[in-house]
Amino acid sequence: MTAPKKLFVKTYGCQMNVYDSERMAGALAERGYETTEDQAEADMILLNTCHIREKAAEKVYSELGRLKPLKTAKPDLKIGVAGCVAQAEGEEIMRRQPMVDLVVGPQAYHRLPQLEDQVQTGARALDTDFPEEDKFDHLPPARGPKARRAPSAFLTVQEGCDKFCAFCVVPYTRGAEVSRPAERLLAEARDLVERGVVEVTLLGQNVNAYHGAGPDGDWTLARLIREMARIDGLERIRFTTSHPRDMDDDLIAAHGEVDKLMPYLHLPVQAGSDKVLKAMNRQHTAEDYFRLIDRIRDARPDIALSGDFIVGFPGETEADFQDTLHLVREVTYAQAYSFKYSARPGTPAAERTEVPEDEKSDRLARLQALLKEQQEAFQTSMIGKTLPVLLEKPGREDGQLVGKSPYLQAVHLQADAALMGQIVDARVVETRTNSLAAVRA
Ligand code: SAH
Ligand code: SF4
Ligand code: F3S
């Protein structure tokens, strides 16, 4: 028997990429690959890339530069580029980087075994098609460190996006919105639970637009969540990322009615000025968002809200930016992500006049200061509270485990390693910006 070949995957970007990396490892297991966390021993290195902002996309070229000596020393080493940069710039990568053997776009991962065959003959392989078939129907189960590290797993339920926000590459790199059939997802969730998973995060670029075929017509995300909640042994359900336009009544109600649905919602708004929201093609106003937040909080008063913000979108004035700060003050976030606008080739906004870089930086600093203040206030409000914590992995200190609160906070506590994968009550004794320290209650 030949020794297994080693696959090293480096993942950039969103949670969908994390999930896809493990499914790619599953596909390459069919060709005898085992995953490794040591790049030096790899027979194949796969970069799963992100194209969302310029900096993210540049990382792939600098990483390829770093890999050059390795490839020179080990000519049999195969180097592959997957993910959204592969989709957007696959041919350019092939042209600029002769050392790249393989380029595969996000919708073609199920063809990896055949592409690998091609690469083994010494040929270069490129596949950035958007095939008709659903790649997940043809992909074997996930492999790799995350898949082994139950108890929390991702499950992609829909992919792609039809919203075409003026700044965003996702509709181009991931393609049109496609939802996976409901019963298949329930079966996959049951499989995960059998493997020890107790928390599932349903993934989609526009997850609440989910409308997968069910036994009695299309199911909404709310319906899928309600049915998934009936699976014994599955204790926690989360979903991300949502668009404000697709938060329907039933999904809002589910937050008050489904105990297993965790009280945390990532609901990006991007900006607080109606003029900017319109220019972004977000298809909602700030007022729509406020009303939505009120309804969500009526259904689930303790919900922790998270969001995404872009500052310095073309045409954004200081007054528009003040509207964003106002929105943040009105809503109050438990945590949030914020970015400087980054022009992406091929998107409508890339044609527009940019806000000067120093203004973008200044606005980002001011927004982040406010968001940090809110996040710290949310963390501090946890002191003295007893929370159910899902214990996920060993902590840095001896005898310490790290888990998650219902509000998606990392929680450190002293606990027996045998409790890993269980939900225990813990009282919060100390808080930091990004984590809580607790003791068993
Ligand atoms: N599907 C998700 C987000 C995908 S990208 C959604 O619709 O919310 C994640 C975040 O990156 C976006 O919410 C946005 O805040 C940010 N982003 C996307 N394109 C960007 C760009 N061109 N410049 C800066 N930030 C961007
Ligand atoms: Fe991008 Fe907008 Fe679609 Fe989100 S909703 S993925 S920001 S186009
Ligand atoms: Fe990046 Fe593609 Fe995800 S651009 S954020 S890896 S969908």
User: What value does the mean pLDDT take over residues 380-402?
Assistant: 96
Share of the chain above pLDDT 70, in %: 98
From the CA of 281, give the closest atom in ligand 2: 2
What is the arithmetic mean of pLDDT over 42-57?
A: 96
pLDDT of residue 136: 78
Confidence (pLDDT) at 220: 98
pLDDT, mean of residues 230-239 = 98
Rounded to two decimals, the pTM is: 0.95
d(CA 130, CA 125): 16
Look up tokens 């042209």; give the residue. 95
Pocket of ligand 2, beta carbon within 6 A: 161, 163-165, 168, 170-171, 205-206, 243
Quote the pLDDT of residue 144: 64
Considering every ligand atom shown, identify the ligand nearest to the alpha carbon of residue 308 and give its number: 1
Nearest ligand, measured from the Cα of 16: 3
Summarize the confidence of residues 105-131 as an average pLDDT. 94
Mean local confidence (pLDDT), 71-99 = 95
Determine the atom of ligand 1 nearest the C-alpha atom of 167.
22
pLDDT higher than threshold 60 for residue 147: no
Q: Which of 308, 351, 355, 360 to mutate to test the pocket of ligand 1 (most atoms within 8 A of CB)?
A: 308
**Quick count: other Cβ atoms within 10 Å of Cβ 287?**
9
Nearest Cα residue to 186 out of 206, 200, 196: 200
**Ligand 3, CB within 6 Å, residue ranges:** 13-14, 16-17, 50-52, 83-84, 169-170, 173-174, 205
CA of 4 to the centre of ligand 3 (A): 31
Q: How large is the average pLDDT for residues 221-229?
A: 98
Q: Give me the mean pLDDT over the 25-50 stretch.
A: 95
Confidence of residue 323 (pLDDT cuts 50, 70, 90): very high
For the CA of 204, the nearest atom of ligand 1:
1
What would the pLDDT profile of 184-209 be if each residue is shown by its tens digit? 999 999 999 998 999 999 999 999 99
List, chain by chain if needed, residues with CB within 6 Å of any ligand 1 atom.
52-53, 167-168, 170, 205-206, 241, 243, 268, 270, 308, 310, 339, 341-342, 344
For the cut 60, the answer to whether the pLDDT of residue 315 exceeds it is: yes
Return the pLDDT at 148: 56
What is the per-residue pLDDT for 145? 58
pLDDT at 355: 98
pLDDT value, residue 134: 77
Candidate from 9, 24, 84 with most ligand 3 atoms within 8 A of CB, to mutate = 84
**Residue identifier of the C-alpha nearest atom 4 of ligand 1:** 205
Query: What is the CA(438)–ligand 2 centre distance, in A?
Result: 37
